[in-house]
């Protein structure tokens, strides 16, 4: 076991501050990683402040982890010391259920072990995340970062990237399709980049005219202002697929008429109850509303390789570990384009 510097929240109201944690000893199937960069996800704020009522303190957030291998278990044969690797939103699953056997560990029927705040046999009784100098992870849940990907920009791919890639891939987005990305933020900006790289006509759907130029720079072919009723009507029945990244409850009904017959709107942003859904547009267009989580390990590696091939990383603002509380406040005001990433070299 090793003592490891980290930043942790001690209560729902306390700021994140320096805290020593203990990492488990490297077992036969383990990989020890010296963390270089860790992306900042809105989930980190929810967990730090116990917004979902299930946080165990002290909590060390962070599930967008990029670093270099510093130790290997005896049974790990596919990695090398010094190799750049990554860890995403979960670090274990049951391995035996139908989802796990189908390489969909994110839907483990027993529940996956999250990268932080999950019950664990590790020291402390719960997993600790990437706001720390090092982490020890089972080899199955360690991803390789392809050469050529900027490691800082690649960190948010482990959550924002795979959260948008997985549904685009599952619903077969390709050339000849028209895809709408609803909401331009941490998820939405990745959705635009990935949909464009998959060859689809990509339309950013937003309430803000001020975001139009940014969307076009990211790869959008067009921008649809959702508060413009005439523009929305003109685009009725035009979309094969809608990826809804809005992170708060809202009225989904306003978007359903945009879909073609057999079109699907997939929800990846808002988690929880929402307004009543009008079944009329579903029935009279055989349309669907669906949801999607992150991807499994196999699909996440596929996403990283796809991003390397197409030179895709997140647009980021690099911060020091000591600036995390200020970054949280800015995130709550949507004052970032589009993801914060912590330079973990700043943590001593």
Q: What is the pLDDT of residues 240-291, one digit of tens each?
A: 999 999 988 899 999 999 999 999 999 999 888 888 889 999 999 999 999 9
pTM of the model: 0.96
Quick one: pLDDT at residue 275?
81
State the average pLDDT over residues 205-210. Answer: 90
Q: For residues 173 and 195, is the Cβ–Cβ distance under 8 A? A: yes
Q: How many Å apart are CA 153 and CA 313, to the nearest integer?
A: 5
Contacts of residue 70, defined as CB under 8 A and 6 or more positions apart, other chains included, come to: 32, 33, 34, 81, 134
Mean pLDDT of 154-159: 98
For the chain, the average pLDDT equals 96
**Positive or negative: CA dihedral 161, 244, 216, 44:** negative
In order of their start, the domains of the chain are 2-159+296-346 (3.90.180.10), 161-291 (3.40.50.720)
What are the tens digits of pLDDT across the range 18-51?
999 999 999 999 999 999 999 999 999 999 999 9
């Amino acid at each position: 076991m090793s003592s490891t510097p980290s930043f942790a929240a001690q209560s729902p109201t306390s700021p994140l501050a320096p805290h020593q944690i203990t990492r488990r000893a490297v077992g036969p199937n383990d990989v020890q990683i010296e963390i270089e960069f860790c992306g900042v996800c809105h989930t980190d704020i929810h967990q730090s402040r116990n917004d979902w009522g299930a946080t165990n303190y002290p909590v060390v957030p962070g599930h967008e982890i990029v670093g270099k291998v510093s130790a290997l278990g005896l049974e790990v044969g596919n990695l090398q010391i010094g190799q750049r690797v990554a860890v995403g939103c979960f670090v274990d699953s049951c391995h035996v259920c139908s989802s796990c056997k189908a390489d969909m560990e994110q839907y483990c029927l027993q529940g996956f072990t999250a990268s932080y705040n999950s019950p664990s046999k590790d020291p402390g009784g719960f997993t600790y995340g990437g706001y720390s100098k090092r982490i020890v992870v089972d080899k199955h849940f360690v991803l390789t970062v392809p050469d050529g990907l900027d490691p800082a920009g690649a960190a948010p791919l482990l959550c924002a990237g795979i959260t948008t890639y997985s549904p685009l891939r599952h619903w077969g987005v390709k050339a000849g399709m028209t895809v709408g990305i609803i909401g331009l933020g941490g998820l939405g900006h990745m959705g635009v980049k990935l949909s464009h790289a998959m060859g689809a006509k990509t339309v950013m759907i937003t309430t803000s005219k001020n975001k139009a130029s940014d969307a076009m720079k990211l790869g959008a072919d067009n921008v649809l202002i959702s508060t413009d009723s005439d523009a929305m009507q003109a685009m009725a029945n035009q979309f094969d697929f809608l990826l809804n990244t809005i992170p708060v409850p809202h009225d989904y009904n306003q978007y359903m008429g945009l879909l073609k017959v057999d079109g699907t709107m997939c929800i990846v942003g808002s988690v929880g109850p929402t307004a009543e859904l009008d079944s009329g547009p579903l029935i009279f267009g055989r349309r669907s509303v669906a949801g999607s989580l992150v991807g499994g390990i196999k699909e996440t590696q596929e996403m990283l390789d796809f991003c390397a091939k197409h030179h895709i990383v997140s647009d980021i603002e690099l911060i020091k570990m000591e600036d995390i509380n200020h970054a949280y406040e800015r995130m709550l005001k949507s004052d970032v384009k589009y993801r914060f990433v912590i330079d973990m070299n700043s943590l001593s």
